[in-house]
Amino acid sequence: MRDTFKYKLEPEPISQEQQRLLDLAEEEENKRREHEAKMAQKKLEEERARIKYEQQQLIAKQEQNTARLEVYLKTMNLSLHRVSLNLTDLCADR
């Protein structure tokens, strides 16, 4: 036969005042955790908004650069066309 120990744990009775204090402490802990969760959610939403704003700024800058490049290329094309016309005129004069 084995020697075994059996423990029987019985909850210790506590007074109503002690139970009330335990409940209050638990309620305060729950409020603290809820507040921390709300603050973390708010911080996450702010970070998402910041990232979205930065992305929009980047897209706007890219669109602006594209428009500038289009103007530059049109100007260069016009200049090349003028040079081509001038060369054609020079060749025709000879």
Reply yes or no on whether the pLDDT at 50 is more than 90: yes
Q: What is the pLDDT of residue 93?
A: 64
Q: What is the pLDDT of residue 46?
A: 98
Query: Domains of the chain: which residue ranges?
Result: 17-94
Q: Looking at per-residue confidence, does 43 or 77 come out higher? A: 43
Reply yes or no on whether the pLDDT at 91 is more than 80: no
Name 35's Cβ contacts closer than 8 Å, sequence gap at least 6: none
pTM of the predicted structure, to 2 decimals = 0.56
Band (65; pLDDT cuts 50, 70, 90): very high
